[in-house]
Amino acid sequence: MTTSLNGIDVDGFRQFAEGIRQNPDNAIARFEVNTRWDGQTRSATTVKSYDLCGKTHARDFTITADEPAELLGTNTSPNPQELLMAALNACMTVGYVANAAAKGVTVRSLEIQTVGELDLRGFLGLDANVNPGYDEVKYIVRIDADGTPEQMEEIHRAVIDTSPNFSNFAKAVRMVPELVLVEKP
């Protein structure tokens, strides 16, 4: 019988983690997306597959982005900053729910509110001294769960310590850019 808590297969989660611990060669997960310009400020990103434990797994998703009209867009989709924060929140949500399940804690509700401010002078190239990105991002986690305050603090700390997207926000990621010019026929 499978133990499920918060919709998480706790036994399966533990078995997966133990398999990675025993075979570190399977520890690498590789994700890839492809984004195409869709006119004006719109873009469409496709997700076709990811690699996990030495195997490729098929996916089929499209993520659209646009800017609000005030930023020259058509307001048809979230903008890249909203998608970035949504990705952070979604990753941390998995962390809270899975860590709670592993500790036997039932989550009744969970909400993460994230706020960041950009100085558009950096993005617009008006001032080279202004960071085009975030200097600070604040988030509030509102969780209703049956854990003790100590358990909830342990879960919170575990999310901060292990969430890939929290880490991506909190530490510099080495970027490896490459420009390929398409040859004209």
pLDDT at 175 over 70: yes
* 99 inside domain: yes
pLDDT at 1 over 70: no
Q: Mean pLDDT throughout 54-79?
A: 97
* 126 inside domain: yes
DSSP 74-116: --SS--HHHHHHHHHHHHHHHHHHHHHHHTTPPEEEEEEEEEE
Percent pLDDT > 90 in the chain is 96
Per-residue pLDDT, 147:
97
Same domain, 86 and 110: yes
Residue 53's domain comprises 32-77
Whole-number Cα distances in Å, 100 to 38, 93, 132, 151: 41, 11, 36, 8
pLDDT at 2 over 90: no
Q: Mean pLDDT throughout 22-26?
A: 93
* 54 inside domain: yes
Per-residue pLDDT, 3:
86
Average pLDDT, the chain: 96
Domain count, the chain: 2
Q: Mean pLDDT throughout 138-160?
A: 98
